[in-house]
Structure 1
Amino acid sequence: MREPPLRFRSIWISDIHLGTAGCQADYLLDFLRHTEADHLYLVGDIVDGWALKRSWFWQQSHNDVIQKVLRKARKGTQVTYIPGNHDAGARQFAGLTFGGIRIADEAIHTTADGRRFLVLHGDEFDGVVQCARWLAIVGDRLYSLTLRLNRAFNQVRARLGLGYWSLSQYLKHKVKTAVNFVSDFEAAVAAQARERGLDGVICGHIHKAELREIDGVLYCNDGDWVESLTALVELYSGELQIITWQQCYAEQAARTAVPAYAAANQGASGA
Protein backbone atom coordinates (compact mmCIF):
# COMPACT_ATOMS: atom_id res chain seq x y z
CA MET A 1 0.00 0.00 0.00
CA ARG A 2 1.42 3.35 -1.02
CA GLU A 3 1.99 5.88 1.75
CA PRO A 4 0.00 9.14 1.55
CA PRO A 5 2.03 12.09 0.21
CA LEU A 6 3.69 14.58 2.51
CA ARG A 7 1.65 17.80 2.33
CA PHE A 8 3.22 21.25 2.56
CA ARG A 9 1.95 24.73 2.00
CA SER A 10 4.96 25.56 -0.19
CA ILE A 11 8.00 23.87 -1.68
CA TRP A 12 11.13 25.46 -3.18
CA ILE A 13 13.60 23.50 -5.31
CA SER A 14 16.43 24.73 -7.52
CA ASP A 15 19.64 23.79 -9.29
CA ILE A 16 18.28 20.57 -10.75
CA HIS A 17 20.50 20.83 -13.86
CA LEU A 18 18.42 18.66 -16.16
CA GLY A 19 20.55 17.88 -19.21
CA THR A 20 23.62 16.86 -17.23
CA ALA A 21 24.87 13.48 -16.05
CA GLY A 22 25.14 14.87 -12.53
CA CYS A 23 21.41 15.55 -12.26
CA GLN A 24 19.82 13.26 -9.66
CA ALA A 25 16.52 13.03 -11.54
CA ASP A 26 15.45 9.71 -10.01
CA TYR A 27 15.70 11.09 -6.48
CA LEU A 28 13.83 14.23 -7.55
CA LEU A 29 11.07 12.18 -9.17
CA ASP A 30 10.68 10.24 -5.95
CA PHE A 31 10.47 13.51 -4.03
CA LEU A 32 7.83 14.93 -6.38
CA ARG A 33 5.78 11.72 -6.19
CA HIS A 34 5.77 11.71 -2.40
CA THR A 35 5.03 15.40 -1.80
CA GLU A 36 2.15 17.78 -2.50
CA ALA A 37 2.00 21.54 -1.99
CA ASP A 38 -0.21 24.53 -2.68
CA HIS A 39 2.79 26.44 -4.07
CA LEU A 40 5.80 25.04 -5.91
CA TYR A 41 8.70 27.37 -6.73
CA LEU A 42 11.36 26.34 -9.26
CA VAL A 43 14.18 28.66 -8.23
CA GLY A 44 16.49 28.54 -11.24
CA ASP A 45 18.95 26.28 -13.07
CA ILE A 46 16.22 23.77 -13.75
CA VAL A 47 17.56 22.93 -17.23
CA ASP A 48 21.30 23.37 -17.77
CA GLY A 49 21.53 25.29 -21.04
CA TRP A 50 25.30 25.73 -20.67
CA ALA A 51 25.87 21.97 -20.59
CA LEU A 52 23.43 21.22 -23.40
CA LYS A 53 25.24 23.66 -25.67
CA ARG A 54 28.48 21.74 -25.12
CA SER A 55 27.02 18.27 -25.65
CA TRP A 56 23.54 16.75 -25.66
CA PHE A 57 22.61 14.65 -22.64
CA TRP A 58 18.97 13.92 -21.90
CA GLN A 59 17.47 10.84 -20.25
CA GLN A 60 13.87 9.70 -19.93
CA SER A 61 13.96 10.57 -16.24
CA HIS A 62 14.63 14.20 -17.21
CA ASN A 63 11.46 14.17 -19.32
CA ASP A 64 9.62 12.56 -16.42
CA VAL A 65 10.59 15.39 -14.07
CA ILE A 66 9.17 18.00 -16.45
CA GLN A 67 5.99 15.97 -17.00
CA LYS A 68 5.52 15.55 -13.25
CA VAL A 69 5.79 19.30 -12.65
CA LEU A 70 3.32 19.99 -15.47
CA ARG A 71 0.93 17.43 -14.00
CA LYS A 72 1.09 19.14 -10.61
CA ALA A 73 0.28 22.48 -12.27
CA ARG A 74 -2.74 20.92 -14.03
CA LYS A 75 -3.99 19.53 -10.73
CA GLY A 76 -4.00 22.94 -9.05
CA THR A 77 -0.52 23.52 -7.63
CA GLN A 78 0.56 27.12 -8.21
CA VAL A 79 3.91 26.65 -9.95
CA THR A 80 6.30 29.60 -10.33
CA TYR A 81 9.48 29.26 -12.38
CA ILE A 82 12.28 31.75 -11.70
CA PRO A 83 15.12 31.12 -14.21
CA GLY A 84 18.76 31.13 -13.14
CA ASN A 85 22.02 31.72 -14.98
CA HIS A 86 22.14 28.23 -16.54
CA ASP A 87 18.61 28.60 -17.95
CA ALA A 88 18.73 32.38 -18.44
CA GLY A 89 17.14 32.06 -21.89
CA ALA A 90 13.79 31.59 -20.17
CA ARG A 91 14.01 35.07 -18.64
CA GLN A 92 12.76 36.60 -21.87
CA PHE A 93 9.39 35.00 -21.10
CA ALA A 94 9.03 36.58 -17.65
CA GLY A 95 5.43 37.58 -17.02
CA LEU A 96 4.02 34.80 -19.20
CA THR A 97 2.42 31.48 -18.23
CA PHE A 98 3.02 28.18 -20.05
CA GLY A 99 1.21 24.96 -19.13
CA GLY A 100 0.02 26.53 -15.90
CA ILE A 101 3.58 27.51 -14.91
CA ARG A 102 4.17 31.22 -14.29
CA ILE A 103 7.61 32.55 -15.28
CA ALA A 104 9.04 35.45 -13.26
CA ASP A 105 12.40 37.09 -12.60
CA GLU A 106 11.62 37.02 -8.88
CA ALA A 107 8.66 36.70 -6.54
CA ILE A 108 7.45 37.81 -3.11
CA HIS A 109 6.09 34.95 -1.05
CA THR A 110 3.97 35.52 2.05
CA THR A 111 4.05 32.66 4.54
CA ALA A 112 1.05 31.44 6.52
CA ASP A 113 2.24 33.43 9.54
CA GLY A 114 2.47 36.67 7.54
CA ARG A 115 6.20 36.93 6.84
CA ARG A 116 7.27 38.19 3.42
CA PHE A 117 10.17 36.61 1.52
CA LEU A 118 12.01 37.63 -1.61
CA VAL A 119 12.40 34.60 -3.91
CA LEU A 120 15.11 34.70 -6.59
CA HIS A 121 17.83 32.46 -8.00
CA GLY A 122 20.70 34.61 -6.74
CA ASP A 123 23.16 34.68 -9.65
CA GLU A 124 22.86 38.47 -9.83
CA PHE A 125 24.82 38.54 -6.55
CA ASP A 126 27.63 36.41 -8.00
CA GLY A 127 30.31 38.75 -9.32
CA VAL A 128 31.94 35.97 -11.35
CA VAL A 129 28.76 35.33 -13.31
CA GLN A 130 27.99 39.01 -13.82
CA CYS A 131 31.45 40.40 -14.56
CA ALA A 132 33.43 37.47 -15.98
CA ARG A 133 31.13 34.94 -17.61
CA TRP A 134 34.05 33.14 -19.25
CA LEU A 135 35.51 32.44 -15.80
CA ALA A 136 32.13 31.15 -14.62
CA ILE A 137 32.00 28.75 -17.59
CA VAL A 138 35.53 27.48 -16.84
CA GLY A 139 34.50 26.96 -13.22
CA ASP A 140 31.37 25.14 -14.36
CA ARG A 141 33.46 22.72 -16.44
CA LEU A 142 35.79 22.05 -13.52
CA TYR A 143 32.74 21.47 -11.35
CA SER A 144 31.39 18.98 -13.93
CA LEU A 145 34.74 17.15 -13.84
CA THR A 146 34.54 16.98 -10.05
CA LEU A 147 31.05 15.51 -10.29
CA ARG A 148 32.25 12.82 -12.71
CA LEU A 149 35.02 11.88 -10.27
CA ASN A 150 32.44 11.96 -7.52
CA ARG A 151 30.18 9.48 -9.36
CA ALA A 152 33.05 7.02 -9.92
CA PHE A 153 34.13 7.35 -6.30
CA ASN A 154 30.60 6.68 -5.01
CA GLN A 155 30.17 3.66 -7.28
CA VAL A 156 33.13 2.13 -5.45
CA ARG A 157 31.66 3.15 -2.08
CA ALA A 158 28.33 1.55 -3.02
CA ARG A 159 30.05 -1.76 -3.82
CA LEU A 160 31.66 -1.60 -0.37
CA GLY A 161 28.26 -0.99 1.24
CA LEU A 162 29.07 2.61 2.13
CA GLY A 163 26.73 5.59 1.79
CA TYR A 164 26.93 8.58 -0.56
CA TRP A 165 29.67 11.14 0.05
CA SER A 166 30.08 14.36 -1.91
CA LEU A 167 33.63 15.18 -3.01
CA SER A 168 32.61 18.55 -4.45
CA GLN A 169 30.89 19.63 -1.23
CA TYR A 170 33.94 18.54 0.78
CA LEU A 171 36.22 20.64 -1.42
CA LYS A 172 33.93 23.68 -1.19
CA HIS A 173 33.90 23.44 2.60
CA LYS A 174 37.68 23.07 2.79
CA VAL A 175 38.88 25.66 0.28
CA LYS A 176 39.07 29.03 2.02
CA THR A 177 38.19 31.12 -1.04
CA ALA A 178 35.06 29.01 -1.61
CA VAL A 179 34.02 29.42 2.03
CA ASN A 180 34.54 33.19 1.82
CA PHE A 181 32.56 33.37 -1.43
CA VAL A 182 29.60 31.56 0.14
CA SER A 183 29.64 33.87 3.17
CA ASP A 184 29.82 36.99 0.99
CA PHE A 185 27.02 35.70 -1.23
CA GLU A 186 24.74 34.93 1.71
CA ALA A 187 25.34 38.36 3.27
CA ALA A 188 24.67 40.17 -0.04
CA VAL A 189 21.41 38.33 -0.71
CA ALA A 190 20.20 38.89 2.84
CA ALA A 191 21.05 42.59 2.57
CA GLN A 192 18.86 42.89 -0.52
CA ALA A 193 15.86 41.55 1.39
CA ARG A 194 16.56 43.86 4.30
CA GLU A 195 16.79 46.91 2.02
CA ARG A 196 13.34 46.05 0.63
CA GLY A 197 11.86 45.81 4.11
CA LEU A 198 11.22 42.06 3.82
CA ASP A 199 11.53 39.39 6.48
CA GLY A 200 13.75 37.07 4.51
CA VAL A 201 15.06 35.75 1.23
CA ILE A 202 14.83 32.37 -0.49
CA CYS A 203 17.38 31.51 -3.19
CA GLY A 204 19.53 28.79 -4.76
CA HIS A 205 22.59 29.12 -7.03
CA ILE A 206 25.44 28.10 -4.70
CA HIS A 207 24.30 24.49 -4.06
CA LYS A 208 24.46 24.89 -0.28
CA ALA A 209 21.24 24.42 1.66
CA GLU A 210 21.01 26.84 4.57
CA LEU A 211 18.44 28.28 6.95
CA ARG A 212 19.76 30.94 9.30
CA GLU A 213 19.32 34.53 10.39
CA ILE A 214 21.71 37.16 9.02
CA ASP A 215 21.46 40.63 10.59
CA GLY A 216 17.78 40.27 11.36
CA VAL A 217 16.83 38.68 8.02
CA LEU A 218 16.10 34.97 7.54
CA TYR A 219 18.36 33.63 4.79
CA CYS A 220 17.06 30.44 3.14
CA ASN A 221 18.83 28.47 0.42
CA ASP A 222 17.04 25.39 -0.91
CA GLY A 223 20.27 23.64 -1.98
CA ASP A 224 20.34 21.52 -5.15
CA TRP A 225 19.53 18.20 -6.84
CA VAL A 226 23.07 17.38 -7.94
CA GLU A 227 24.84 16.96 -4.61
CA SER A 228 22.73 17.63 -1.53
CA LEU A 229 19.25 16.56 -2.79
CA THR A 230 17.48 19.15 -0.67
CA ALA A 231 14.33 21.25 -0.75
CA LEU A 232 12.97 24.07 1.35
CA VAL A 233 9.40 23.52 2.55
CA GLU A 234 6.81 25.61 4.36
CA LEU A 235 4.48 23.92 6.83
CA TYR A 236 0.89 25.11 7.12
CA SER A 237 1.90 26.94 10.30
CA GLY A 238 4.33 29.06 8.27
CA GLU A 239 7.43 27.35 9.66
CA LEU A 240 10.23 26.78 7.12
CA GLN A 241 12.34 23.63 7.06
CA ILE A 242 15.03 22.06 4.89
CA ILE A 243 14.39 18.48 3.77
CA THR A 244 17.28 16.23 2.72
CA TRP A 245 15.55 13.72 0.44
CA GLN A 246 18.43 11.23 0.27
CA GLN A 247 17.89 10.53 3.97
CA CYS A 248 14.10 10.29 3.50
CA TYR A 249 14.62 8.04 0.47
CA ALA A 250 16.81 5.65 2.45
CA GLU A 251 14.33 5.55 5.35
CA GLN A 252 11.48 4.88 2.93
CA ALA A 253 13.42 2.05 1.23
CA ALA A 254 14.12 0.49 4.63
CA ARG A 255 10.42 0.62 5.57
CA THR A 256 9.34 -1.11 2.34
CA ALA A 257 12.16 -3.67 2.52
CA VAL A 258 11.11 -4.99 5.95
CA PRO A 259 7.57 -6.16 4.98
CA ALA A 260 8.90 -7.49 1.65
CA TYR A 261 11.56 -9.49 3.49
CA ALA A 262 8.96 -10.80 5.97
CA ALA A 263 6.59 -11.81 3.17
CA ALA A 264 9.37 -13.61 1.31
CA ASN A 265 10.40 -15.52 4.43
CA GLN A 266 6.80 -16.40 5.22
CA GLY A 267 6.38 -17.82 1.71
CA ALA A 268 9.60 -19.76 2.05
CA SER A 269 8.59 -21.24 5.40
CA GLY A 270 5.21 -22.28 4.05
CA ALA A 271 6.70 -24.02 0.98
Structure 2
Amino acid sequence: MRIAALSDFHIGAHGYMDEFRHRESAFLAFLDQLEGSHDRIILVGDIYQTEHALLPGRRVAAAELARARARVPALCERLRGPQYHYIHGNHDAVAGPELGAPETLEISADGYRVLFIHGHQFDPVFQRARAAAQAATWFTGRLRRAGLRPLAQWFEGRDVAIKHRRFGHIDGPYARAARALLREHAADLVVMGHTHVPHLHRLPEGQVVNTGSCARGRRTHVTIDTAARSVEIHRA
Protein backbone atom coordinates (compact mmCIF):
# COMPACT_ATOMS: atom_id res chain seq x y z
CA MET A 1 0.00 0.00 0.00
CA ARG A 2 1.17 3.50 -0.82
CA ILE A 3 0.07 6.20 1.61
CA ALA A 4 0.48 9.98 1.29
CA ALA A 5 0.52 12.03 4.50
CA LEU A 6 0.20 15.80 4.55
CA SER A 7 -0.79 18.34 7.17
CA ASP A 8 -0.96 21.92 8.40
CA PHE A 9 -2.91 23.65 5.63
CA HIS A 10 -4.19 26.35 8.03
CA ILE A 11 -7.15 27.32 5.85
CA GLY A 12 -8.60 30.43 7.48
CA ALA A 13 -12.15 31.66 7.92
CA HIS A 14 -11.33 34.91 6.07
CA GLY A 15 -8.85 35.84 3.38
CA TYR A 16 -6.76 37.94 5.73
CA MET A 17 -6.61 35.03 8.21
CA ASP A 18 -5.72 32.41 5.62
CA GLU A 19 -2.23 30.87 5.48
CA PHE A 20 -3.09 28.17 2.94
CA ARG A 21 -2.25 30.52 0.07
CA HIS A 22 -3.02 28.04 -2.75
CA ARG A 23 -5.34 28.56 -5.66
CA GLU A 24 -8.03 25.98 -5.04
CA SER A 25 -7.88 24.61 -8.60
CA ALA A 26 -4.08 24.24 -8.47
CA PHE A 27 -4.19 22.36 -5.17
CA LEU A 28 -6.92 20.09 -6.50
CA ALA A 29 -4.64 19.28 -9.43
CA PHE A 30 -1.90 18.40 -6.93
CA LEU A 31 -4.33 16.11 -5.11
CA ASP A 32 -5.18 14.50 -8.46
CA GLN A 33 -1.53 13.47 -8.71
CA LEU A 34 -1.47 12.10 -5.16
CA GLU A 35 -4.70 10.17 -5.71
CA GLY A 36 -3.30 8.61 -8.85
CA SER A 37 -0.12 7.42 -7.16
CA HIS A 38 -1.32 6.54 -3.64
CA ASP A 39 -3.96 4.23 -2.20
CA ARG A 40 -4.78 6.44 0.80
CA ILE A 41 -4.21 10.07 1.72
CA ILE A 42 -3.97 10.98 5.41
CA LEU A 43 -4.57 14.55 6.61
CA VAL A 44 -2.49 14.83 9.78
CA GLY A 45 -4.20 17.80 11.44
CA ASP A 46 -4.41 21.60 11.39
CA ILE A 47 -6.17 21.53 8.05
CA TYR A 48 -8.25 24.50 9.20
CA GLN A 49 -7.31 27.46 11.38
CA THR A 50 -10.16 27.94 13.86
CA GLU A 51 -8.42 29.82 16.70
CA HIS A 52 -7.98 33.31 15.21
CA ALA A 53 -11.43 34.55 16.23
CA LEU A 54 -11.86 37.43 18.66
CA LEU A 55 -13.47 35.23 21.30
CA PRO A 56 -12.57 31.69 22.43
CA GLY A 57 -14.91 28.71 22.82
CA ARG A 58 -16.22 25.74 20.90
CA ARG A 59 -19.20 27.54 19.34
CA VAL A 60 -16.95 30.26 17.95
CA ALA A 61 -14.41 27.70 16.71
CA ALA A 62 -17.21 25.72 15.02
CA ALA A 63 -18.36 28.89 13.25
CA GLU A 64 -14.78 29.58 12.13
CA LEU A 65 -14.53 26.02 10.83
CA ALA A 66 -17.75 26.43 8.83
CA ARG A 67 -16.53 29.71 7.33
CA ALA A 68 -13.15 28.25 6.42
CA ARG A 69 -14.77 25.28 4.71
CA ALA A 70 -17.14 27.56 2.82
CA ARG A 71 -14.17 29.43 1.33
CA VAL A 72 -12.87 26.28 -0.43
CA PRO A 73 -15.99 24.22 -1.18
CA ALA A 74 -14.49 22.10 -3.96
CA LEU A 75 -11.48 21.22 -1.82
CA CYS A 76 -13.67 20.33 1.16
CA GLU A 77 -15.77 18.07 -1.03
CA ARG A 78 -12.63 16.35 -2.30
CA LEU A 79 -11.31 15.78 1.22
CA ARG A 80 -14.53 13.94 2.11
CA GLY A 81 -13.74 11.25 -0.47
CA PRO A 82 -13.16 7.60 0.48
CA GLN A 83 -9.44 7.83 -0.25
CA TYR A 84 -8.97 10.46 2.48
CA HIS A 85 -8.70 10.11 6.26
CA TYR A 86 -8.59 13.17 8.51
CA ILE A 87 -7.26 13.41 12.07
CA HIS A 88 -7.47 16.72 13.91
CA GLY A 89 -4.68 18.87 15.34
CA ASN A 90 -4.67 21.65 17.91
CA HIS A 91 -5.80 24.48 15.62
CA ASP A 92 -8.68 22.42 14.22
CA ALA A 93 -9.55 20.44 17.36
CA VAL A 94 -13.19 21.40 16.86
CA ALA A 95 -13.18 19.14 13.77
CA GLY A 96 -13.28 16.26 16.25
CA PRO A 97 -16.85 16.85 17.46
CA GLU A 98 -17.97 18.72 14.32
CA LEU A 99 -16.62 16.44 11.59
CA GLY A 100 -15.81 13.24 13.45
CA ALA A 101 -12.06 13.63 12.95
CA PRO A 102 -10.26 11.39 15.48
CA GLU A 103 -7.06 12.22 17.32
CA THR A 104 -5.12 9.21 16.02
CA LEU A 105 -5.27 6.72 13.18
CA GLU A 106 -3.57 3.36 12.71
CA ILE A 107 -3.08 1.62 9.37
CA SER A 108 -1.58 -1.83 8.92
CA ALA A 109 -0.70 -3.33 5.55
CA ASP A 110 1.90 -5.82 4.33
CA GLY A 111 2.89 -6.52 7.94
CA TYR A 112 3.82 -2.85 8.43
CA ARG A 113 2.00 -0.74 11.05
CA VAL A 114 1.78 3.06 10.88
CA LEU A 115 0.41 5.38 13.58
CA PHE A 116 -0.70 8.91 12.66
CA ILE A 117 -0.99 11.68 15.28
CA HIS A 118 -0.71 15.45 14.86
CA GLY A 119 1.98 15.85 17.53
CA HIS A 120 0.87 18.93 19.49
CA GLN A 121 0.30 16.53 22.38
CA PHE A 122 4.09 16.38 22.79
CA ASP A 123 4.87 20.08 22.31
CA PRO A 124 6.40 21.19 25.65
CA VAL A 125 4.99 24.71 25.29
CA PHE A 126 1.51 23.42 24.52
CA GLN A 127 1.74 20.94 27.41
CA ARG A 128 3.05 23.30 30.09
CA ALA A 129 1.71 26.69 29.03
CA ARG A 130 -1.38 26.06 26.93
CA ALA A 131 -2.94 29.40 27.81
CA ALA A 132 0.19 31.23 26.65
CA ALA A 133 0.28 29.23 23.40
CA GLN A 134 -3.38 30.04 22.74
CA ALA A 135 -2.75 33.71 23.55
CA ALA A 136 0.08 33.77 21.00
CA THR A 137 -2.27 32.34 18.36
CA TRP A 138 -4.90 34.95 19.27
CA PHE A 139 -2.25 37.69 19.03
CA THR A 140 -1.12 36.71 15.52
CA GLY A 141 -4.77 36.57 14.52
CA ARG A 142 -5.20 40.16 15.70
CA LEU A 143 -2.13 41.19 13.70
CA ARG A 144 -3.66 39.69 10.57
CA ARG A 145 -6.96 41.40 11.21
CA ALA A 146 -5.06 44.70 11.49
CA GLY A 147 -3.45 44.10 8.09
CA LEU A 148 -0.06 43.12 9.54
CA ARG A 149 0.23 39.66 8.01
CA PRO A 150 4.03 39.91 7.42
CA LEU A 151 4.59 40.69 11.10
CA ALA A 152 2.37 37.77 12.15
CA GLN A 153 4.29 35.48 9.82
CA TRP A 154 7.60 36.72 11.25
CA PHE A 155 6.51 35.85 14.80
CA GLU A 156 5.27 32.43 13.67
CA GLY A 157 8.44 31.76 11.69
CA ARG A 158 10.58 32.54 14.71
CA ASP A 159 8.43 30.23 16.82
CA VAL A 160 8.85 27.39 14.32
CA ALA A 161 12.63 27.86 14.08
CA ILE A 162 13.21 28.12 17.84
CA LYS A 163 11.00 25.14 18.67
CA HIS A 164 12.60 22.97 16.00
CA ARG A 165 16.08 23.82 17.23
CA ARG A 166 15.14 23.07 20.84
CA PHE A 167 12.72 20.17 20.43
CA GLY A 168 13.10 18.66 16.96
CA HIS A 169 16.31 16.68 17.40
CA ILE A 170 16.54 12.93 17.83
CA ASP A 171 16.68 13.21 21.63
CA GLY A 172 13.88 15.79 21.80
CA PRO A 173 10.34 15.42 23.15
CA TYR A 174 8.73 14.45 19.83
CA ALA A 175 11.25 11.66 19.25
CA ARG A 176 10.90 10.47 22.85
CA ALA A 177 7.12 10.40 22.47
CA ALA A 178 7.47 8.52 19.20
CA ARG A 179 9.62 5.87 20.84
CA ALA A 180 6.93 5.30 23.46
CA LEU A 181 4.20 5.16 20.79
CA LEU A 182 6.19 2.71 18.68
CA ARG A 183 6.46 0.38 21.66
CA GLU A 184 2.89 0.87 22.88
CA HIS A 185 1.28 0.27 19.48
CA ALA A 186 3.83 -2.24 18.16
CA ALA A 187 4.21 0.16 15.24
CA ASP A 188 6.97 0.48 12.68
CA LEU A 189 6.41 4.17 11.92
CA VAL A 190 4.90 7.20 13.64
CA VAL A 191 3.77 10.11 11.44
CA MET A 192 3.37 13.60 12.92
CA GLY A 193 2.75 17.15 11.74
CA HIS A 194 2.48 20.30 13.89
CA THR A 195 6.04 21.62 13.72
CA HIS A 196 5.95 22.58 9.99
CA VAL A 197 9.49 21.17 9.62
CA PRO A 198 9.77 17.92 7.60
CA HIS A 199 12.29 15.44 8.93
CA LEU A 200 12.83 11.72 9.46
CA HIS A 201 14.42 10.09 12.50
CA ARG A 202 15.44 6.44 12.67
CA LEU A 203 15.04 5.24 16.23
CA PRO A 204 15.88 1.90 17.86
CA GLU A 205 12.16 1.06 18.00
CA GLY A 206 11.29 2.22 14.46
CA GLN A 207 10.96 5.53 12.63
CA VAL A 208 9.21 8.87 13.12
CA VAL A 209 8.58 11.28 10.26
CA ASN A 210 7.17 14.80 10.18
CA THR A 211 5.06 15.81 7.20
CA GLY A 212 6.06 19.47 7.18
CA SER A 213 3.34 21.86 6.04
CA CYS A 214 1.18 22.64 3.03
CA ALA A 215 0.63 26.24 4.20
CA ARG A 216 1.95 29.32 2.36
CA GLY A 217 1.79 27.63 -1.03
CA ARG A 218 3.94 24.63 -0.08
CA ARG A 219 3.20 21.06 -1.17
CA THR A 220 5.37 19.19 1.30
CA HIS A 221 4.21 15.65 1.96
CA VAL A 222 5.38 12.17 2.89
CA THR A 223 5.02 8.96 0.89
CA ILE A 224 4.93 5.66 2.77
CA ASP A 225 5.20 2.36 0.88
CA THR A 226 4.23 -0.41 3.27
CA ALA A 227 5.37 -3.22 0.97
CA ALA A 228 8.82 -1.65 0.42
CA ARG A 229 8.88 -0.36 4.02
CA SER A 230 10.08 2.98 2.68
CA VAL A 231 9.39 6.53 3.86
CA GLU A 232 10.12 9.51 1.59
CA ILE A 233 9.76 13.24 2.23
CA HIS A 234 8.78 15.34 -0.78
CA ARG A 235 9.49 19.08 -0.50
CA ALA A 236 7.83 21.36 -3.03
Q: TM-score, normalised by structure 2?
A: 0.72
CA RMSD of aligned residues (A): 3.3
Once the two structures are superposed, the pairs formed by residues 70-109 of structure 1 within 5 Å of their partners are: 70=80, 72-73=81-82, 77=83, 79-92=84-97, 103-109=101-107
Q: 1:168 to 1:42 in 2, by over 3 A?
A: same
CA distance in 1, matches of 2:29, 2:95: 26
Q: Deviations over 1:51-81 (max 9, x none)?
A: 25669674876223212222x32xxx2x221
Q: Which residue of 2 aligns with 1:242?
A: 233
Residues 1:241 and 1:49: Cα distance change in structure 2 (over 3 Å): same
Give the Cα separation in 2 of the matches to 1:171 and 1:239. Answer: 31
- Provide the TM-score with structure 1 as the length reference: 0.64
* Corresponding pairs, count: 210
Q: Name which of structure 1's ranges 81-90 and 130-139 shifts more when overlaid on structure 2.
A: 130-139
What is the correspondence of 1:14-53 to structure 2 with a 5 Å cutoff? 14-19=7-12, 20-26=17-23, 28-36=27-35, 37-52=38-53
Report the Cα distance in structure 1 between the residues aligned to 2:112 and 2:188, rounded to whole angstroms: 6
Secondary structure of the corresponding residue to residue 84 of structure 1: coil
> Does the C-alpha gap of structure 1 residues 178 and 110 become closer, same or farther in structure 2, counting only changes over 3 Å?
same
Task: Give the letter for the 2:103 counterpart.
Answer: D
- Other-structure match for 2:214: 225
Give the whole-Å Cα distance in 1 for the aligned partners of 2:140 and 2:27.
Answer: 21
- How far off is 1:203 after superposition? 0.9
Amino acid of the residue matched to residue 32 of structure 2? R
Runs of 4+ in 1 over 3 A off after TM superposition: 52-61, 141-147, 166-173, 235-238
% identity of equivalent residues: 24
Aligned residue number for residue 204 of structure 2: 215
Q: Which residue of 1 aligns with 2:188?
A: 199
Report matched runs for 1:180-195 at 5 Å.
180-183=166-169, 184-195=172-183
> 1:160 — aligned with what?
none
Which protein has the larger Cα radius of gyration, Structure 1 or Structure 2? 1
Bigger fraction of residues in helix: 1
Provide Cα deviations, 1:223-257, integer angstroms capped at 9, x if missing partner: 11114431112246442211223xxxxxxxxxxxx
- Tell me how far apart the structure 1 counterparts of residues 90 and 152 of structure 2 sit (CA, whole Å): 24
Q: Helix, strand or coil: the match of 1:88?
A: coil
C-alpha distance in 2 between matches for 1:242 and 1:142? 32
Distance 1:84 1:151, change over 3 A: closer
Q: Please state whether the residue corresponding to 2:200 is helix, strand or coil.
A: strand
1:64 aligns with 2:74: yes
Instruction: Tell me the equivalent position of 2:136.
Output: 139
Q: 2:126 is matched with which residue? A: 129
CA distance in 2, matches of 1:21, 1:93: 20
Q: How far apart, CA to CA, are the structure 2 residues paired with 1:220 and 1:29?
A: 24
| Structure number with higher relative contact order (C-alpha < 8 Å, ≥ 6 residues apart) | 2
**Post-superposition CA distance 1:170-225 (Å, at most 9, x none):** 7744x4x6511223233233222233132220011111111231334211111111
Cα deviation for residue 120 of structure 1 reads 0.7
